[in-house]
Copies of this chain bind each other. A is one copy, B any other.
């Protein structure tokens, strides 16, 4: 479940805590998603993408799995 959430978040210059608050989830969940050990729900992926100004493909598509 690798992705580009971390780099997109850093590029957007917001903290995990901010992104979590804006997307309605907890900081811990953001942390786990960025770490790549999680399989988030589609709804959450969409919320993250919109908040980060990206599309699903840009954040989650074709990220080589380790």
Contact = CB atoms under 8 A, between A and B. Distances in A.
Number of copies: 2
A60 B42 contact: yes
Contacts of A40: 41-42
Sorted nearest first, the 10 A-B pairs with minimum C-beta distance are A56-B56, A57-B57, A39-B43, A39-B41, A55-B57, A56-B61, A56-B57, A40-B42, A42-B45, A55-B61
A1 interface: yes
A46 interface: yes
Most chain B C-beta atoms within 10 Å of own C-beta, residue among A1, A42, A46: A42
Contacts of A43: 1, 39
Interface in A36-58: 39-43, 45-46, 49, 55-57
